[in-house]
Structure 1
């Protein structure tokens, strides 16, 4: 356990965060962290149950004098996004996160930090261990697999939870009270292709597009950051047109919920055009660095000579694929006409893998309007079907419709103003929070989401602000004292 982190204030929260970050917890492989949480709940002597999909629920009775208050559900997810820099040697399935303090921030060494949503989980653990905190009856819901499908929330059955108010601890700006979110659907195009011999008078190159900023594919989609898959495709398309380039592999992006930061491609061009091709790449590097100087200042494009492969993508399919990727929508599709500044619908071209006769293209389509989400997903599906792909839409989850009139929203808005002498930002977000799904089986729940300031989520630049965690902890404890009677 990192003792420097564990000794930060509030100490109980940071101590549990350090403990949690020593447990590998990738999405869909949460067996170790589920057992960790089961053991923790049982060690504290509280009722601890695990449902059939792996969600853990721990119940803590009210502190003396607060037995008549409404039961509050606190909810966070156990899994974390696994992203690292390409040159970082790190095994997420066996190693704990390597953290360090940098001024007012906690960061990780070239990997994601897991503050999303580990700070929320650690908060709930701290509430379980503290005996000096006034609080109503608590149900602590630790869900699984939020980051790659929200299957924990989707699998939670009605009737298990008894609370009437749900506090989701997964918002990443301490000034915000989130009361609505987008839904999403995974769109995947797959297929196979014929390979053709590369002409003997060609030379091979590996293109490395790296250093992009990346980020959360929902919360950061409006920031105009470069998508490595789209930029690599732009280069390959032009190289095909100008130099008769032959592509024999593409490997870009990693996770659906992360804006792709890197893409790699292996290509071949006629030896007689090699110098022109290299000059073209230098010019394109300058162009891309100029276009993305503000959003992706570390963008790099490098070309290294490699041995000429024996075969590559057939020329006809190469043209079809590059055109389909070019046509695939990426980024903002529509802004909300009802809420100023809110992205309503978007798509992230998250993963492109083309190699050895097969290909896979993964997108995450989001919207706070289900009909528009499905319309955009169908447009993407049609684009890749025209190139002969087999396309599926899976893992759809609903959005969360805002209710600004709820009692908990009014209570926390007024409390925020009282504590911090400023108005909170009461808003909806363009990300998938579990509240929308949980509300389907618990429609009477009053729900709100808040949390400390976390930046760079879903990327190795992820960091959490120490002073913000202290502010958020104070806000939470005061909120628990203001919960109304039943």
Structure 2
């Protein structure tokens, strides 16, 4: 299979390949920062780190172009650490394995890190290029973009000298982006009273997997399934029709990723189990048919599981299921000014139970502050 080192432009792909060898999940950018500092030092370029942990690399202007406006090339060092279930990849230790698949470069069961590794690689390539005539250049490498943007938020006024900033974190070649949506986290916690599971129940494990997921900003308009919504639909139906009791649930792992998987541990009265299983399979087929175009690989499974000792109290379970059902997900409003632009959206990103509580985490985006 073709190596990415043979792709063009050769310099950018060389730098990107090097970045895939360096673990850099959000909050753990130490190794990649060391690499950037070493890379810049090797080029004889001034490199500084600000109080937020961002790196600024300055490349002097080509002789005779010192009076040109300075340009800042900005990219973020961290990446989203997501992998398929059963994948043993350790994002804190292991390199990303890349595969050239036709006209695409992808990873082997994990996120690739092209967001924003390819932007970092492009900025690196400009820094080391010797055949580009330019004014003063600064490369701004920010940290923690994927989990809170603390790097960009912590950048102080006056740190940058350039007058023009190019953000290299977009996905469409040959297009210039003139703005982006703001984002906000919304976290809801429900107190849950547990109760001992009565005698006469059977235990099951429900799993939702195989969804494409995607980025909650770039892919939210594609109509892909949300594992938390799919799971809640199954649970709510079984609660209303078969008396389902819920012991635990965990779906999604990152606020800015459309959730691909969810898992719930449940209990059903033994004499209602057969009817539950028939109905569950019918519901699963119905949902798979609905999502066939967007998510043809959706898997919905129910398997026997050990009996839990405790389950959600019934009224608390009803309140929780109705809350997830009512929570918006996907595109809320398209822009009235620009065709095809998502104005406001929400990603129901994470649903997770812990002893005595269950948490729902959403990431809201909008280009209109008041919406």
Shorter chain as normaliser: what TM range? over 0.9
Once the two structures are superposed, what CA deviation does each residue of 1:358-412 show, in whole Å capped at 9, x if it has no partner? 222110011001111xxxxxxxxxxxxxxxxxxxxxxxxxxxxxxxxxxxxxxxx
Q: CA deviation at 1:176?
A: 2.4
Rounded Cα–Cα distance in structure 1 between residues aligned with 2:2 and 2:161: 37
Rounded Cα–Cα distance in structure 2 between residues aligned with 1:135 and 1:364: 39
SS of equivalent to 2:84: coil
1:201-240, aligned counterparts within 5 Å?
201-240=200-239
1:110-125, aligned counterparts within 5 Å?
110-125=109-124
- 1:430 — aligned with what? none
Distance verdict in 2 for CA 1:99–1:149, change over 3 Å: same
- 1:439 — aligned with what? none
Does structure 1 conserve the Cα–Cα contact (< 8 Å) formed by 2:245 and 2:311?
yes
Rounded Cα–Cα distance in structure 1 between residues aligned with 2:103 and 2:324: 41
* 1:343 aligns to 2:342 (yes or no): yes
- 1:44 — aligned with what? 43
Rounded Cα–Cα distance in structure 1 between residues aligned with 2:71 and 2:333: 35
Rounded Cα–Cα distance in structure 1 between residues aligned with 2:20 and 2:2: 12
Q: CA deviation at 1:38?
A: 1.7
Q: CA deviation at 1:128?
A: 1.6
Once the two structures are superposed, what CA deviation does each residue of 1:195-247 show, in whole Å capped at 9, x if it has no partner? 11112211010001111111111111111111110111111111000010100
Count of residues in correspondence between the two structures:
371
Consecutive aligned runs of 4 or more in structure 1 exceeding 3 Å deviation: none
- 2:59 — aligned with what? 60
- 2:331 — aligned with what? 332
Q: CA deviation at 1:3?
A: 9.6
Does structure 2 conserve the Cα–Cα contact (< 8 Å) formed by 1:57 and 1:142?
yes
* 1:31 aligns to 2:42 (yes or no): no
Rounded Cα–Cα distance in structure 1 between residues aligned with 2:223 and 2:100: 29
Does structure 1 conserve the Cα–Cα contact (< 8 Å) formed by 2:48 and 2:57?
yes
Rounded Cα–Cα distance in structure 2 between residues aligned with 1:48 and 1:273: 67
SS of equivalent to 1:317: helix
Once the two structures are superposed, what CA deviation does each residue of 1:240-294 show, in whole Å capped at 9, x if it has no partner? 0001010011100111101111111111101111111111111011101110010
In proportion to residue count, which structure has more helix? 1
Does structure 1 conserve the Cα–Cα contact (< 8 Å) formed by 2:2 and 2:100?
no
SS of equivalent to 1:258: coil
Rounded Cα–Cα distance in structure 1 between residues aligned with 2:163 and 2:357: 49
Rounded Cα–Cα distance in structure 2 between residues aligned with 1:133 and 1:87: 46
* 1:280 aligns to 2:245 (yes or no): no
Does structure 2 conserve the Cα–Cα contact (< 8 Å) formed by 1:20 and 1:118?
yes
* TM score, norm. by length of structure 1: 0.75
Q: CA deviation at 1:67?
A: 2.4
Q: CA deviation at 1:45?
A: 0.8
- 1:438 — aligned with what? none
SS of equivalent to 2:225: coil
Does structure 2 conserve the Cα–Cα contact (< 8 Å) formed by 1:248 and 1:355?
no
Rounded Cα–Cα distance in structure 1 between residues aligned with 2:116 and 2:249: 32
Rounded Cα–Cα distance in structure 2 between residues aligned with 1:177 and 1:297: 33
Q: Aligned-pair RMSD on alpha carbons?
A: 1.4
Once the two structures are superposed, what CA deviation does each residue of 1:309-339 show, in whole Å capped at 9, x if it has no partner? 1111111110111111111111111111221
Does structure 2 conserve the Cα–Cα contact (< 8 Å) formed by 1:6 and 1:17?
no
SS of equivalent to 2:364: strand
Q: CA deviation at 1:191?
A: 4.1
Rounded Cα–Cα distance in structure 2 between residues aligned with 1:124 and 1:178: 17
* 1:271 aligns to 2:270 (yes or no): yes
- 1:22 — aligned with what? 21
Does structure 1 conserve the Cα–Cα contact (< 8 Å) formed by 2:190 and 2:320?
no
Rounded Cα–Cα distance in structure 1 between residues aligned with 2:30 and 2:313: 43
Rounded Cα–Cα distance in structure 1 between residues aligned with 2:337 and 2:38: 46
SS of equivalent to 2:263: strand
Once the two structures are superposed, what CA deviation does each residue of 1:162-209 show, in whole Å capped at 9, x if it has no partner? 111111111101142210110010011124322111122110100011
SS of equivalent to 1:272: helix
- 2:92 — aligned with what? 93
- 2:199 — aligned with what? 200
- 2:301 — aligned with what? 302
Q: CA deviation at 1:6?
A: 2.5
Does structure 1 conserve the Cα–Cα contact (< 8 Å) formed by 2:192 and 2:357?
yes
* TM score, norm. by length of structure 2: 0.97
1:116-265, aligned counterparts within 5 Å?
116-265=115-264
Does structure 1 conserve the Cα–Cα contact (< 8 Å) formed by 2:25 and 2:92?
yes
Q: CA deviation at 1:355?
A: 3.3
Tell me which of the two structures has the higher relative contact order, counting C-alpha pairs closer than 8 angstroms and 6 or more residues apart. 1
Rounded Cα–Cα distance in structure 2 between residues aligned with 1:244 and 1:269: 7
- 1:352 — aligned with what? 351
- The range that moved more, 50-59 or 24-33, is 24-33
Q: CA deviation at 1:122?
A: 0.7
